[in-house]
Each structure stands twice: as C-alpha cells, then as structure tokens.
Chain A
Amino acid sequence: MGVFLGKTIAEKILSEHSKKDLKAGDIAVVDVDIVFAQDGTGPLAVSQLKKMGFKRVANPSKSIFFIDHAAPSPRKELSDSHKVLRSFSKESGAALSDINRGVCHQLVAENYACPGNIVIGADSHTCTAGALGAFATGMGSTDIAVGFALAKTWMMVPATIKINYTGKPGAGVYAKDLIIYLIGKITADGATYKALEFSGEAGRDLDMDERLTISNMAVEAGAKAGLFATDNKTAEYLKKQGRPGCFREIKADDDAEYENVINIDCSAVEPMISKPHTVDNAVPVSQIEKVKIDQVLIGTCTNGRLSDLRIAAGILKNHKIASGVRLIVVPASADVYLGALREGILEVLVESGATIVNPGCGPCVGVHQGALAGGEVCLSTQNRNFKGRMGNPEGFIYLSSPATAAWSAVKGYISDPREVLAL
C-alpha cells in the first residue's frame, strides 16, 4: 500500500482499492465493495454475465438487484424483466430488493455503503452514496456485469474540484437549492470526469439527508463522484441504521491537490429553480415569471427522505393544494414511508390533497405513476428535467426543493417558499 501524502478523498479510496499509490489521471483496476443494478439496467447486465459464462456473482452479499424503476410492474414486458432479476438473483447468489423496498440509492445509503468503500451501480445517480464518504459512481450494464462477476472494475482516478460551502443558508434555502445553484454556476458538464468534494462549514453543517441530496446531483454537473468527508454526523447516521461498525474516518489530506476550489457563500443563495430542459438552466425562484403548474412531484432518490416529507408536510399543514394541481408524493424507501406514517406526515399530506404512491422511482423515469400530458408543466424535487424525462417530450419539467414544491402546489404556480415560512 502506498504512502498517503497530499491526497484527495478520491485518490485515497482508489489507491487503497488498487494497492497502488494513485494520483489523478492514473488508470488502475480496483476492487469494488458493492455492485448493483436496477430493473431498467439489470436485465442487460444479466445477459452480459451469461454471455461471459458467469453463473455466480463474486461477492453475493454485496451484489444487489433492485426492482424500483417500474415497481410494481405496470405492464407484462416489465413483469418479464422483473422475473429475470428474481430468478437470476436466486441462481447467482445476488441479493434481491423487491418492489416493496424503495429506490436503490436510498437503500444503498441505508443498508450497504460504508465510508471508504467503492460502490458501482448501473444507474447514474449511484454517486448518492458519496455522502457517506464512499467512492460511488454510475456505470452501464456491461461494466456492472463485470463488477458482479469479478468484484473489480477499471477506473481513471479523477481530478477533484473542491466545493467550499461557507455562510449560513437563509430560511427557505435547502440542500437542493445549494446544489442547483452550484450546477447553474459550473454548468451541466462543469465537472465531467471529475470528483466533487463538498466541504466548508456550511457543508459540514448539513445532515445526512441533505448530504445525500447534494451527492445525488453531482452527476448533473457531469461528475464521477460527489464526496463528503466523514464526521460525527456520518457516525450517527450509521449508528441509527444499525451499522455503527462500518464507520471510519475518510478525509482529504490538508495538502491534497485540487484542480479547482469553488467558494459558495450560502447566505447569498436563494431558493432555486432549474427550468426546462437542463438542470443548469438555474434561476432563483424570485426571478421566475409566473409559471402555472399541472403536477407536483415530491420524492425520488434526490428528495424523498423523511426530512424532505417533513418539510413538505410543515408547509401543507392546514392548506389544500390548488384546484387543478396533482401532487404526487413518493417516499424513497419503505423505512421512509413507515417513518412518515408513524409521524403523521402522510396524514397531513393526504389531507392537503396529495396522492401517495409506493416507495420507488415514481414518475421520475417516465414509466408510470404520473406521466405528463402534452404541454403540461411539472414542478418536481427529482434531479433531472430533460426533455421527455417524465414520459412525454411535450412536457415541461422544473426542479426545486420540497419546500418550494409544496408551497407551489398550494398556490398553483411556481412560488417562493419564503412567503409561507414568513407567515
């Protein structure tokens, strides 16, 4: 093992997993700790595994197929795909997370990822687990098939851009606003092939749910990973999840070399909106024209955690959603669902007029549970607003925090949550 001097988090984790002293730009074969695919990418990974002649996965307890994108199956073709994953899991030894559990990224955070791990998943938002100090990155089905088979992959060590969040965010400004603001600033390819390291006192102030939101969207700036150093909040989260033993300290060296350092004063960030059809088309909600909305989505791997639903319920309590607006709420996991149920959050949401759907990806992928009609506008807490994303290229998707989404559902058009928080 190399001597760790002047390394970023990415350089440290990749060096450890290749048993080489790696710097940004180096290419190496690395051991991977956790490998997963979902129902949109898993069947192709299975057929590639079979093509290569592999019958078993290398590391069964850390190889997972998640059925979350079209769960429960809305049509027979997808039922067949689900069947492929269920039977292959049995044959190969891999774990199966069926339709009742929730979104892969939330479940990887809750149950699998540990600080210092390498996590690869056949889903672009695999970077979510970077919030726990794991080097987590999305790949395609074939790379993931090889990961399942060998518990190895090849990587180029990314250069790192350090994001230094300073200052205190004002009322109505959340993690989602901080990451949309950043992506607006550096653009949708501003971090392509790079790792982002989120730090600064405002970064450290974020709790785990908020860090997961920020890491989740690292890929929307093109990043390979979105990493947080570990601290007592990481330790507390893992303890709460019943996995205290997997905590370890992960941080960059003080003299680590960064390609760039970007300072963001959070006190100057307002509630943000990404306008159609790119995430970097970002504006403060205060500067947006009056946009009437047909549908609001609160949930997904970006903002479907308990604290997100709690914020939405806090705003929707004693309010009804506007006539003509559909509010769809998707808890990210079964645990989130149960938590929201026990806290009375779901009651508040349903009373306000929300439609609660089962834990999973919901309408974000455009498969089911709320595809848009032509010309319709959706305000969503999801991570991406590309044309066609929600099942219709004639639809328009705006992105925001759960607070902005909840208040906008009440008003019927995109609205600033500071209006209600000031009441």
Chain B
Amino acid sequence: MMSSNLGGGSSSPEKMKKHEGYLAGRAFKFGDDISTDLIAPGRYFHLRSNLPELAKHVLEDADPEFADKIEAGDIVVGGRNFGLGSSREHAPIIMKLAGVGAVLAKSFARIFFRNSINIGLPALVCDTGMIDEGDRLEIDLRKGIIKDITKNTEIAFNPLPDVMIKILSDGGLVEHITANKGFNL
C-alpha cells in the first residue's frame, strides 16, 4: 500500500513527461517547524483571493528576501515538521506560484503534506541534513533519488503512498476528480 515511489505504482513511467518526473534547482534551506504562518502570514489574509500578490510574500517571515531570490524550479529544503499549523492551502499554492519546484523535509505536518500533493507540488520526505543553502539539486521522482550536484551525493526519499502518486500524476486533486468523475484511488 505504501510501497512505491512516484511512477513506480499505478502510473507507468513512459506516460510521464520528462518535466513531470525530473526537477532541478537550487536549494533554499530552512530550519525546523516552518509554520504556514511563516509561509503565508495572517497579516496578508486579505490577499488570499489574490494569489499572485500573496505569492510576493511567500515565506517572508522565515526569510524576508526569499520571494526576490527564488527562480523557477528552485527547491525549498526544510527540517522537521515542515508546514505545521493552519490548514491554509494558500501556503503550498503560493510556494508553487513563486516557482518552487519541490519541497524536501525531514518530516511534514499532515495537512500541509496533503495540500501540497493536492495542488501538484511534490513534497518529499528525506534526510535534508546534508543539503546546504545554494546546493544544486536534481530530483528524479520516478527513481526516488535526489542528487546533490554540488556535493556529488545521492539522497533517497521516502516513497509516497499510491493514492498520492495517483493524485500527483493526474496533476492534482481537482484534475483527478474531474478526469474520473469522482475518486478513482
């Protein structure tokens, strides 16, 4: 049930376009307990219906310059319990909108993890302790491997549950439900 990584389960590798299974970018390193309040602060509550504007403040309370520094495909690297707190899905949405290609962490809070997959942002559990700020990373979602090009090391990530692979492969939960006219997990 919890046994295969992305592409290894129900979705066949050949169906997956290269950009869906392969990600590359620079690492932006954060510590433990990055809450959704730090990612999408409550003082910008009024911007929740204006996501591009809210995205300009993504992770602002953890790193005030993050939104200026991030380039498409870059990878957010956290520690323990990434995304704890509020259920606001705006947190992973504005990360994705700002260009974040994936988020890696030692562990994720439950709701953030589920939200990320639902909106099509890969959230991967791995040992992030050896990754440093600015390292160039390549992620092969199909093989379950993260390559730290800067350090010339490989890190395996924990496989996602099959149901999440299905949702992520369909492009997110809205797309899954629309394509299947309901759940097909």
A residues lining the B interface (CB < 8 Å):
25-27, 29, 40-41, 43-44, 48, 51-53, 69-70, 75, 77-78, 80-81, 84, 122-124, 126, 138-143, 145-146, 149-150, 152, 154, 156, 188-189, 192-193, 222, 224, 278, 365-367, 371, 384, 386-393
Contact = CB atoms under 8 A, between A and B. Distances in A.
A224 B114 CA distance: 12
Contacts of A150: 177, 182-183
Q: What 5 pairs across the A-B complex have the smallest Cβ distances?
A: A366-B42, A140-B89, A140-B115, A77-B46, A189-B81
A365 B49 CA distance: 17
Interface of B: 1-2, 33, 35, 37-38, 41-43, 45-50, 61, 80-81, 84-90, 93, 107, 109-111, 114-115, 118-119, 161-163, 172-174, 177-178, 182-183, 185
Given A27-B161, A124-B85, A189 B109 contact: yes
B37 A124 contact: no
Contacts, number: 148
Nearest to A138: B87
A386 B38 contact: yes
Contacts of A138: 87, 111
B185 A386 contact: no
A393 B114 contact: no
10 contacts: A27-B161, A44-B90, A51-B178, A140-B111, A142-B173, A143-B115, A150-B183, A222-B84, A367-B43, A392-B43
Contact of A140 (B49, B118, B177, B182): B118
B80 A146 contact: no
A4 to B, nearest CB: 21
A278 B182 contact: no
Contacts of A189: 80-81, 84, 107, 109
A192 B81 contact: yes
Given A27-B1, A389-B42, 17 more contacts: A27-B162, A43-B49, A81-B49, A122-B87, A142-B89, A142-B173, A142-B174, A143-B115, A145-B174, A192-B107, A193-B110, A222-B81, A367-B42, A367-B46, A384-B37, A386-B38, A388-B43
Nearest to A278: B33
A147 to B, nearest CB: 11
Nearest to B53: A77
A190 to B, nearest CB: 10
Nearest to B51: A44
A421 B156 CA distance: 56
A26 to B, nearest CB: 7
Contacts of A371: 43
A143 B174 CA distance: 9
